[in-house]
Chain A
Amino acid sequence: MSLADDLKKILPESCQIESSFGEVNVITPADQLLVVMESCKEHSDLQFDILIDLCGVDYLNYGLSEWKTTSTTSSGYSRATSNEPQTSKWPLPRIAVVYHLLSTTLNQRLRVKVFASPKIPEVPTICDIYSHANWYEREAFDLFGIVFVNHPDLRRILTDYGFKGFPFRKDFPVSGFKEIRYDHDQERCVYEDVNIEPRVTVPKVIRDDNRYVGDQENE
């Protein structure tokens, strides 16, 4: 019997279970997350003993293309990109947390996804179930601003001391807001606003590729 069938029996009914690219996905409501994780770890047919990965995803610009062809100009590659703000096409809450689980005893993998509440993204912590989720949750908090409720030590982990903002969100520019340099007059490091012009080398293009039409219909 396949893993997806097992999951349908074991997990709460509010979970969506689907398979794509040979991988099993579970989408669970946030209030069922702890129940789902608990059964994934403890149930004898699942036994997912290791949390391989935990990460945030920001779906703000999902499916939006930067490509807008106009007449040629002399301003380089950026001519074909539109910087006009676009409205999000994503129908679900913007921020998601994705968990990758591995069972070394039954040799199987699972992906669990939970969408955080829209205003302040909040998700319950799974540190009590998988203790090594600690740093992964700190990372997701640091980069996406996801608040893991009841986390024992929710501090920033990867960014600089005193960093402001959530850099991996799609509305945070790649060049950031602040830059640091050593100032010879003051004999210390100083922070300043960045003076880099945002630049697009290759625009993001989405094409309706006929080769993949069949794939999407099957999903």
Chain B
Amino acid sequence: MSEINQYTVNFGPQHPSAHGVLRLILELQGETISKIDTHIGLLHRATEKLAETKPYNHSIGYMDRLDYVSMMCNEHAYVRAIEKLLNVEAPIRAQYIRVMFDEITRILNHLMWLGAHALDLGATTVFLYCFHEREKLMDCYEAVSGARMHATYYRPGGVYRDLPESMPQYEVNPWRSKKEIDALNQNRQGSLLDFINDFIDKFPSVIDDCERLLTENRIWKQRTVNIGTVNAELARELGFTGPLLRASGVDWDLRKHQPYAVYDQLDFDIPIGTKGDCYDRYLVRMEEMRQSVRIIRQCVEWLAVNKGPVIINDHKIAPPKRVEMKDDMEAMIHHFKLFTEGFHTPPGEVYASVEHPKGEFGVYIVSDGANKPYRLKIRPAGFSHLQSLEKICKGVMLADLVTILSSIDIVFGDIDR
């Protein structure tokens, strides 16, 4: 048998388990990895530079396209930074709506992650279950904003509009019978809140189904337990945040420790792992989905009984209603100024962050008093996590690299920006 020497393998940038456009240059000793050189930036679109050339509100849509599986959470960090600069606060109803959609987004993200992670380890069924559920949440996005993914729903000072009173329904078509259509429309008879209520009643059993397929599954455990272990000390050293930090046993969640919006008025728990291996990361995210359901339920209950404005009444920041503009000169001028020039922020610098499904997502804005940010820096959650790959994966098998890579949940929209 010939002697196996060290050799170099190019992994990606077009590889199904590279989760986008990641390129790794791997130096292998047999099947063991001795060195990784990570190449990123293949999806770099200079979002930050583009935002510097546009009024504040024009860039909300760019935020959706950063981490394109947790759209509204990105928007939340951005509008929170602007609100901090302007020293305004969104009305309480808008804050509940934001929290509800943040948690819907968290479930969206974790379902995407679970499906892709399971697929990477060879379990196709889970992927199909996850995407079936994601579709319903996409419908919530569409009902509220008109877009399935890139919502542009949050605005400085609130949200674009109130929750709709009716859900769009399927129409009879040549491919489905009336009976099938009626069954599909069964949970769409009421408002959006009724639809979400119906979803959170049924969703925990879907998590149970996925857990039955995976949690005690021998192959799943063999592939994930004790793989990519990161203890609490190392996790801090590597700059982890979010579920990765919690899986390593650090009790840290911005929703609890630096609460924003209305998280301090809601009742939920923070799951924490013990070992920090891929299996713990899986368990932490599964429990986070259950906790998100708890938060959504409390928001739905609150929103059903408490009506009120969803955006502030300051027309220097939020546009006046169309109706007001018909016979109010002041409203007309405000509208014109806001849409041709935008609003101005006071000079200064702020940093605002949210507990994004992947970790801490922050926005740092330097303002010189203009209608555009002077400098916008996006702090993506995945950047530090992906950087740690070189350290965690030294000496592991090639097959485990794929497990570790998908367990850290990366999306290139936000790493490359």
Q: Which of B50, B84, B239, B349 contacts A50 (CB 8 A)?
A: B239
How large, as a class, is the contact surface on chain B?
A: 35 or more
Which residues in window 373-407 of B have CB below 8 A to A?
374-375, 377, 379, 383-384, 387-388
A107 contacts B258, C-beta separation under 8 Å: yes
* Complex contact A206–B344 (CB within 8 A): yes
Contact of A202 among B40, B84, B371 (CB under 8 A): B371
Q: With A167-B49, A202-B342 as given contacts, are A55 and B377 in contact (CB-CB < 8 Å)? A: yes
Contacts between chains A and B (CB distance < 8 A), count = 130
Chain A nearest CB, measured from B369 CB (Å): 5
Known: A206-B368, A206-B369. A216 touches B347 (CB 8 A): yes
Q: Which residue from B48, B53, B364 sits with its C-beta under 8 Å from A53? A: B364
**B245 to chain A: which residues have CB within 8 Å?**
104
A202 and B41: CB pair below 8 A?
A: no
Cβ-based interface call for B319 (8 A): no
Against B, the Cβ 8 Å flags (1 = close, 0 = not) of A156-199 are 11111000000110000010000000000000000000000000
Using A20-B348, A159-B44 as known contacts, say yes or no to A174 and B49 having CB atoms under 8 A apart: yes
Q: Please, how many angstroms separate the alpha-carbon atoms of A107 and B257 in the complex?
A: 7
Residue contact A174 to B53, C-beta cutoff 8 Å: yes
Q: Is the CB of B416 within 8 A of A158?
A: yes
B387 to chain A: which residues have CB within 8 Å?
132, 134-135
Whether B374 contacts A62 by the Cβ 8 Å rule is yes
Partner of B379, one of A52, A57, A132, A159: A52
Q: Is A150 an interface residue (CB 8 A)?
A: no
Whether A50 pairs with B377 at a CB distance below 8 angstroms is no
Chain A residues with a Cβ closer than 8 Å to the other chain, count? 51
Residues from chain B with a CB closer than 8 A to the CB of A23 are 349-351
Q: Is A215 an interface residue (CB 8 A)?
A: yes
Q: How far is the CA of A100 from the CA of B388 in the complex (A)?
A: 19
Confirm or deny: A204 has a beta carbon within 8 angstroms of a beta carbon on chain B: yes
Pick from A49, A109, A204, A215 the residue with the most CB of B within 10 Å. A204
Q: Is the CB of A206 within 8 A of B370?
A: yes
Interface string of A84-127 (1 = CB under 8 A from B): 00000000000000101010100101010000000000000000
CB distance from A76 to the nearest CB of B (A): 13
Taken together as a complex, chains A and B put the C-alpha atoms of A57 and B375 apart, in Å, by: 7
* Known contacts A158-B41, A168-B48, A174-B50: A52-B252 contact under CB 8 Å: no
Of listed A135, A136, A209, residue having the most chain B CB within 10 A: A135
Name the CB-closest residue of A to B371: A205
Assembly CA distance A160 to B45 (angstroms): 11
Cβ-closest chain A residue relative to B237: A131
- Chain A CB within 8 A of B21 CB: no
Contact A204 B364 (CB under 8 A): no
In whole Å, how far is A104's beta carbon from the nearest beta carbon of chain B?
A: 5
Contact (Cβ within 8 A) A49 B236: yes
Closest to A25 in B: B349
Chain B positions 26-48 with a Cβ under 8 Å from a chain A Cβ: 40-41, 44, 46, 48
- In the complex, the answer to whether A158 meets B44 with C-beta atoms within 8 Å is yes
Would you call A109 and B351 a contact (CB within 8 A)? yes
A51 at the interface (CB under 8 A from B): yes
* Across-interface contacts of A52 in B (CB, < 8 A): 239, 241, 353, 360, 362, 379
Instruction: State A96–B258 Cα separation when bound (angstroms).
Output: 28
Measured between C-beta atoms, what is the minimum distance from A160 to chain B in Å? 8
The interface bits of chain A over 23-62 (1 if a CB of B lies within 8 angstroms of the residue's CB, else 0) are: 1010000000000000000000000011111010110011
How long is the Cα–Cα vector from A58 to B48 in the complex, in angstroms?
Answer: 13
Given contacts A132-B384, A134-B387, A167-B46, contact A202 B340 (CB under 8 A): yes
Chain B neighbourhood of A51, CB < 8 A: 239
Which single residue of chain A is at the shortest CB-CB distance from B374? A62
Q: How far is the CA of A131 from the CA of B371 in the complex (A)?
A: 37
Q: Nearest chain A CB to B248's CB is how many angstroms away? A: 11
> Cβ of B335 < 8 Å from any Cβ of A?
no
Chain B CB within 10 Å, residue with most, of A51, A109, A160, A206: A206
Contacts of B151 in A (CB 8 A): none
Q: Which of B49, B240, B379 has the most CB of A within 10 A?
A: B49
Minimum C-beta distance from B9 to chain A (A) = 19
With a cutoff of 8 Å between Cβ atoms, the chain B residues found around residue A57 in the complex are 366, 375
Contact A21 B350 (CB under 8 A): yes
User: Which of these, A53, A102, A104, A204, contacts B370 with CB under 8 Å?
Assistant: A204
Which 10 A/B pairs are nearest by Cβ-Cβ distance? Answer: A132-B239, A158-B41, A212-B346, A53-B379, A55-B377, A158-B44, A135-B387, A104-B252, A49-B236, A206-B370
16 pairs, A vs B, C-beta closer than 8 Å: A20-B348, A23-B350, A53-B364, A63-B369, A102-B360, A104-B245, A135-B383, A136-B383, A157-B40, A159-B41, A167-B49, A168-B48, A205-B341, A206-B368, A212-B347, A215-B346
